[in-house]
Amino acid sequence: METLIQQCVNALSLGGTYALLALGLAVVFSVLGMINFAHGEILTIAGYTVFFSIISAVPPILIIPLALLVAMASAALMERIAFRPLRGASPTSLLITSFAVSGILQMLFQNFISARPRPVPIPAALTGAFNVGPFHIGVIQSLSIFATFAMVGLLTLFLKRTMLGIAIRAAAVDFPTTRLMGLRANRVILAAFAISGLLAGVSGLLWIAQRGSVDPLMGFLPVLKAFIAAILGGIGNLTGAVIGGFFLGAIEIGLQAVLPESVQPFRDAIALSLVVLVLLYRPQGLFGTAHSVRP
């Protein structure tokens, strides 16, 4: 039982990181109809912000807010420079642009910072575990789960209780009609990118807390998994993106626990095969609907 509880905590922790990233992808997709594969580089930017803040002796209490602020500003800047000039272009053009932005940022990280991983010291208070009855729960895993549910709750409140959030939801359903009603497109799209940057920033903090290092390519694998989670949940569906992230995390941790050591190198392939099996029966994803997929 103790092992089962521990694996459930690990699944929630890993799935939560995927869920936040998938949610960031889904927010932009629901408004603009594009998958931003440069989303992973926002995660990396948050990681480098933490790294340079530490070596610059920035007060610890300011490091996390600074990393989140830089992540949001980077996402908004990315929208303004790379994607706004292509407003109205085909989904293929937007997709290629997102890959180009991702590649350019990775090249800049490698040439102006370092191609090698940079260590990020993790406070000792975060590396331990605490006891809940007979169970030992890791501090970082607990923080990951708490941060995930807190961010999902705050985003839900924002989308349902604020005018800007309601505008984003309306744009996700029918952007052309809402523009005819006076919706300011630039404001809504910029807000969607800033929200996705915030979610990527939180994911980046959780990711480097588990890795203890930052490198130019660290955002690639998480955003790939988040993309799979978003597809699994139903691309463009915010609830589906969250559940898809947790579902993918549970599959990976479950396979890690049950597969023999000799089969572990094939874990990702088996996990992706299970995802494909799900999509064979639900091509639109677990929670996908006809209007959730924009052309």
β-bridge partners, 136: 131
Mean pLDDT, the chain, rounded, equals: 85
Q: What are phi and psi of 118, to 5 degrees?
A: -110, 130
Q: Say which DSSP state 286 is in.
A: S
Contact of 254 with 7, CB cutoff 8 Å: yes
Instruction: Report in angstroms the alpha-carbon separations of 50 from 22, 61, 63, 129, 207.
Output: 22, 12, 6, 23, 12
Rounded to 10 degrees, the C-alpha dihedral 94/24/27/99 comes to 0
Supply the pLDDT for residue 108: 95
Residue 288's pLDDT band (cuts 50, 70, 90): low
Section 225-243 average pLDDT: 84
Instruction: Please name which of 280, 253, 275, 273 lies closest in space to residue 264, comparing C-alpha atoms.
Output: 253
3-state secondary structure of 173: helix
Q: Could you read off the pLDDT of 193-223 as tens digits, one per residue?
A: 999 999 999 999 988 888 889 999 998 888 8
Q: What is the pLDDT of residues 8-55, one digit of tens each?
A: 888 888 888 888 888 888 888 888 888 888 999 999 999 999 999 999
Residue range 68-122, pLDDT digits in tens: 999 999 999 999 999 988 887 888 888 899 999 999 999 999 999 988 999 988 8
This prediction's pTM: 0.89
Report the pLDDT value the prediction gives residue 275, as an integer from 0 to 100: 82
> Which pLDDT score, from 0 to 100, does residue 47 have?
94
pLDDT per residue as tens digits for the range 144-193: 888 888 998 998 899 888 988 888 888 877 777 777 777 787 888 899 99
Residue 141, pLDDT score: 82
The rounded distance, in Å, linking the Cα atoms of 101 and 60 is 31
Which has the closest alpha carbon to 230: 13, 39, 12, 11?
39
Dist. CA 135–CA 131, nearest whole Å: 6
Report pLDDT for 138: 79
Beta strands of the chain (E only): which ranges? 118-119, 129-132, 135-138, 213-214
Q: How many residues does the chain have?
A: 295
Token representation of residue 11: 């699944």
Q: Which of 98, 99, 94 is nearest to 294 (CA)?
A: 94
Model confidence at 261, in pLDDT bands (50, 70, 90)?
Answer: confident
